[in-house]
Structure 1
Amino acid sequence: MRRVAAIAAPAAFAAALFWSLPGMAGDIAYVTSQEAGELAFVDLDAMAVTKTLVIPGKPAGIAVSADGSRAYVSRPEDKAISIVDTARGETIGEIATGGGPLGIAVHPSGSPVYVADWFSHSLLVVDPEARKVVGSFETGESPSGVAVSADGAVVVTADRDSNQLSFIDTATGAAIARVPVGERPFGVTISQDGTRVYSANVGSDDVSVVDMASHELIATVPVGSHPYAVAESRGKVFVTDQYGSTVTVFEAASGTRLAQLETGEYPEGIDVGADGRFLYVANWFDNTLSKIDAETLEVVGAVEVGDGPRAFGEFIGPSP
């Protein structure tokens, strides 16, 4: 019956196929699954996987360019990053980094790409067109998360084994500030208005809130067990608690806890959609991507992805 329907209505069939391609949805999530060794393309309107790519080397970090045309994946085991053409749904190259590439972020202009090297205690500067490392910035020990300001002038790293954040001038590579935070900071996020920086402190079960301009510690907010990453939306801060299998939500202005949501076992990466209404969480042990309503603070959907989803970084982008 399906074959007859396809022949009888070729236009409808072609349209359905056309709109099922990765580039035809609204926001797309690019989810690294470290154990499966793959990258899933997830249509966030449909909450459905539309494509998977094989990515060797235990893919972990992910960064999507502002226009959604490229995704960059860190591969710690292979000491390299992959470049993905999101419209074509293909890996189009790789760049050897050496060391231990983990956190990754893209300059708002699309270049360079910044890669935290866990072993060399530095932030690598990568030219994606030349496909090579063109420089490095000094960080603290074992940098993990990376975030870039909206104007591209400042890049921030979470230096896990130094218990600090590094604020670095992207034009000169000079350290603007080194700011002590909680124990073992891992994920780092800049607020949507660009005024604050959040670090998820795995060792002290809290989030440090730092003023972006003055580099002063504004607040320390207790969250769940072993916080991994942070996202902000609609005046609320969402934190994945790995060992708690929860997402802690607190008010951005006051630090008041609003909820603790059960999203899946061992949540790690978290990011927010373009309009801010929904957030998405990669659950390592459940092999799912969960969807949270930022207004109602309810889990409203989930989709199965590959084994060991990590999605560490800004993994959501517009349809290319």
Structure 2
Amino acid sequence: MRKNKLSFQERAGSLQEECLCFCEEASREAMFQAPIELPEGFVIDPAEAVTNVTWNADSLSCVSERCFIETGPEPDEIAVQFAVRLQGTVTLLVSVSPVRNQYGQGNGAVSVIHSAEIDQVVYYSDEPDDCPDFSDIRIENLVVVPPFYGSPLSVTGTIVLVPEPDQRSYVFTANSGDSTVSVIDTEVNTLVSNISLSDIPTDLGVTLDKAYTYVLHGNANLVSIINNETLTVTQTTPLAGAPRKIQFETGGEFAYILAGGSSIYEINISSQTITNTFTVSPAADDFALDPNGQFFYTTNSGIWVVNKYDIKTGQLIDRLSNLETPNVIETPLIGDFAYLENGELRPNVVSVIDLTTFSKSSQINRLFDGLITIVFSDDGTRAFFLEPFPENLTVVDTAQHTMITTASLPGASDIAVTPDNQYIYAAQPDDNTVTVYRTSDYTAVSVIPVGTGPAAIAM
């Protein structure tokens, strides 16, 4: 969505010219409750009742209202938007059947005309004439409510005034060279926004429901949170140490951030607040979450240990101390294993850790000269190992833990994989670009200019 930022002076001038308020909350739905009086001597059993609703929205109209919307954390980071408001009446013909007499005989129906008054903002737009198509209105969630305390039988439901838009799929890059996050629309592989940040972004991650992007600022001990619908920064959270890596638990409720090596922060995604802080000892080089949401794991290459902690209490549960210099560790969203890069002298191995027994079960059939990252596909069937050298991508079948193929992604610092496993987006900081590769043959199909120095990428 396009945003036209205003300076403080421009905002003040606009306020003098016309009274603009900050945008109110929008809702695409309206609830209704239609009471139904039954003829004397007749009854409806709510357990078997069937309802039908038809509607008419001829008296409904659309108006557009200008208002301010916040585009960032600073007071002068605002923009003018057009609030699309629906006003008028939706007339409902509500029918309920079967209607029977007191002896359980009959199979009739009873109907009532109910008027639902509408006066609400349904969404925001950059365009002043962007009104919805009233033919898209739907009636959902119909429930027959039995009489109680003298109230008549009634039918409740939801009028869906405007259907939810299809969620757009974005790729985000953390650009350390100009302190921005670039946003790519994956449907057309085009840059749609460069979001300015107060500090240098060093890493980032997207919540599992795709609603927010968490941006780590390793130089400033901060985490910025971007609303992926408005593409604006909505929250900045300070930490006691430099954030280094972010993970999201499979339940979708919490984000976990490794900061300063010795702390794991738990952030409630809904409230965007820190709900717990765990101290890990020794300090961690890397960490990963258990796919079942019960534990987290840390590595320390200095004393050759992998620790297992309870994610609810932060208590140390178990440890592995028989693997040389454990470094990068990663787990899939679905599975019972972790991949761990370890080895005292390069090239290194990638060990397969059985999380059920918390022991090494096997290793990948290839040696690696220092991994940048390990990325799993959403379905957990593939893993992608990225190295910093020419033939730098290794694709692994996670069912057999065996290498499938290798490919070259020149200059890639990080990668993101589409949910259907058909494309890889590679961030290239030296070229200020993101290249899209087709996974059927690993050929480049698109090159997208982004901000300066895209060091990390997420989808």
- Compute the TM-score of the two structures, normalised by the length of structure 1: 0.78
Match of 1:3 in 2: none
Instruction: Tell me the CA shift for residue 232 of structure 1.
Output: 3.1
| Match among 300, 307, 319 for residue 452 of structure 2 | 307
Q: Compared with structure 1, are the counterparts of its residues 252 and 152 closer, same or farther at alpha carbon in structure 2 (3 Å cutoff)?
A: closer
CA distance in 2 between partners of 1:55 and 1:245 (Å): 34
Match of 1:303, as an amino acid?
Answer: I
Q: Which of residues 211, 220, 224 in structure 2 aligns to 1:82?
A: 224
Q: Deviations over 1:43-91 (max 9, x none)?
A: 2232222111122433122121121111111111111111111111111
- 2:217 matches 1:217: no
Name the amino acid aligned to 1:260. T
Distance 2:334 2:418 in 1: 16
1:134 aligns with 2:280: no
Taking the aligned partners of 2:186 and 2:354, their CA distance within structure 1 comes to 32
Query: Would you say 1:247 and 2:393 are equivalent positions?
Result: yes
Q: Distance in 2 between matches of 1:162 and 1:45?
A: 46
Matching residue within 195, 207, 210 for 2:336: 195
- The partner residue of 2:295 within 145, 148, 154 is 154
Distance across 2 between alignment mates of 1:176 and 1:293: 42
- SS of 2:455's partner is coil
Aligned equivalent of 1:226: 370
- Match for 1:32 among 158, 174, 177? 174
- Alpha-carbon distance in 2 for matches of 1:299, 1:47: 12
2:414 to 246, 262, 269: 269
What one-letter code is carried by the residue in structure 1 that aligns with 2:263? Answer: S
Partner of 2:349: 206
Q: 2:441: which partner in 1?
A: 296
**Larger Cα Rg: Structure 1 or Structure 2?**
2
The answer to which structure has the higher helix fraction is 1
Answer yes or no: is the 8 Å Cα contact 2:263–2:277 preserved in 1.
no
Query: Is the 2:435–2:448 contact (alpha carbons within 8 Å) kept by the matching residues of 1?
Result: yes
1:46 aligns with 2:188: yes
Q: Contact 1:197 / 1:209 at 8 angstroms: preserved in 2? A: yes
CA contact (8 A) 2:224 2:236 kept: yes
Q: Of residues 314, 318, 325 in structure 2, which corresponds to 1:177?
A: 318
**Is the alpha carbon distance of 1:211 and 1:294 closer, same or farther for their aligned partners in structure 2, counting shifts above 3 Å?**
farther
Q: Tell me how far apart the structure 2 counterparts of residues 271 and 179 of structure 1 sit (CA, whole Å).
A: 30
- Give the distance between the partners of 1:24 and 1:285, measured in 2 at CA: 34
Gaps of 5+ in 1: 1-12, 18-22
Match of 1:10 in 2: none
- What is the aligned partner in structure 2 of residue 9 from structure 1? none
| Structure-2 change in CA distance of 1:72 and 1:192 (3 Å) | closer
- Aligned partners of 1:223 and 1:288: how far apart in 2? 29
Whether the aligned pair in 2 keeps the contact of 1:241 and 1:247 (CA below 8 Å) is yes
Between the aligned partners of 1:308 and 1:216, the Cα distance in structure 2 is 39
